[in-house]
């Protein structure tokens, strides 16, 4: 079993967070590498860069169309 509590845990295990703003219908992936790796992502709040409204978060596995792990995740797996 894996532990997914922090932003670093998500990167280490190949997950991503995506955000959606209902206010302006904008959908973006959240740059987990820019988030503090030891910070708990559960309960974290994000604001839309476009309108400043609240963002709904979705957790999913970060894979490409050919099922390879996305670039940038490998540096976190080494920690």
- Please write the tens of the pLDDT for every residue from 55-67: 999 999 986 555 5
* Domain interval for residue 23: 7-71
Q: Which residue has the higher pLDDT, 70 or 39?
A: 39
Domain membership flag for residue 33:
yes
Instruction: Please indicate, yes or no, if residue 15 is contained in any of the structural domains.
Output: yes
Per the domain annotation, does 79 fall within a domain?
no
pLDDT range class, residue 68, cuts 50, 70, 90: low
The model carries a pTM of 0.71
pLDDT, residue 67, reads 53
Q: Is 56 among the domain residues?
A: yes
Q: What is the dihedral of CA 67, 72, 77, 79, to 10 degrees?
A: 180
In a domain, 2, yes or no: no
- Whether the Cβ atoms of residue 4 and residue 15 lie closer than 8 Å to each other: yes
Using the predicted structure, report yes or no on whether residue 8 has a pLDDT greater than 90: yes
Q: Is residue 58 part of a domain?
A: yes
Tell me which H or E stretch contains 7.
helix 7-12
Which sign does the torsion angle of CA 28, 32, 35, 39 carry? positive
Provide the pLDDT for residue 78.
44
78 assigned to some structural domain: no
Q: Is residue 11 part of a domain?
A: yes
């Amino acid at each position: 079993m894996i532990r997914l509590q922090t932003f670093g845990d998500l990167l280490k295990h190949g997950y991503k967070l995506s955000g959606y703003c209902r206010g302006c219908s904008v959908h973006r992936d959240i740059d987990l590498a820019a988030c503090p790796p030891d910070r708990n992502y559960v309960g974290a709040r994000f604001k839309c860069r476009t309108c400043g409204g609240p963002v709904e978060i979705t957790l999913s596995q970060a894979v490409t169309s050919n099922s390879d792990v996305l670039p940038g995740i490998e540096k976190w797996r080494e920690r």
